[in-house]
Structure 1
Amino acid sequence: MKMPVIIYPPDSSGGRHVRSGTEDLGVAHSQHDVVELLHGAGLEGIDEVEIATTSVIDWHGGGPDVWAPPDR
């Protein structure tokens, strides 16, 4: 994976869209989901601990511990 991964803020269901460059990798509802999406995109060897610290991932709207929908 050449492009950085962007994980967008939680939507109204708590899902976070995951994108790499122009490729939509899917929607994650947990850290485990993020890892699975990254593995599916070819970023093998990353785990739930590393997603919090790797420079490959740019978390928008909160880090890997934020999954609740925003308050209105």
Structure 2
Amino acid sequence: MSAPIVIHRPSPTRGRRVTIRGQIAGLAYDDRDVEEFLRRAGLPDADQLLDDPAWVEWRGGRAHQYQAA
């Protein structure tokens, strides 16, 4: 089973697409943006979920990095 939250690879213009349970939540430019998307989706304690691989899968880049290499 994959994580319900996916933070996709950084885009060339900066930012990462975030999906929650397969639905696009938005484009995040930092962890605060991701936390806000999770809060709006009804997930409490979003800041504690970002490093939990059962909840969040970071794809195509380092966790917490929002600029393309």
- 1:10-49 paired onto structure 2 within 5 Å: 10-47=10-47, 49=48
| Distance (Å, rounded) in 2 between the aligned partners of 1:22 and 1:65 | 20
Per the TM alignment, residue 22 of structure 1 is displaced from its structure 2 partner at its CA by 2.8
- SS of 1:8's equivalent? strand
2:49–2:56: 8 Å Cα contact kept in structure 1?
A: no
TM-score, length basis structure 1: 0.77
Kindly provide the amino acid, as one letter, of the partner of residue 65 in structure 1: H
What CA deviation, in whole Å up to 9, does each residue of 1:38-62 have, x standing for no partner?
1111111221x54123521011012
**Percent identity (aligned):** 28
Higher strand share: 2
- Cα deviation, residue 25, structure 1: 0.5
Paired position in structure 1 for 2:50 = 51
- Structure 1 or 2, whichever has the larger Rg, is 1
How much is the aligned-residue C-alpha RMSD, in angstroms? Answer: 1.8
The number of residue pairs the alignment matches comes to 67
Name the SS for the 2:9 alignment partner.
coil
Please give the TM-score of this superposition, normalised by the length of structure 2.
0.80
**Matches of 1:14 and 1:40 in 2, distance apart?**
22
When structure 1 is superposed on structure 2, of 54-63 and 11-20 the one drifting more is: 54-63
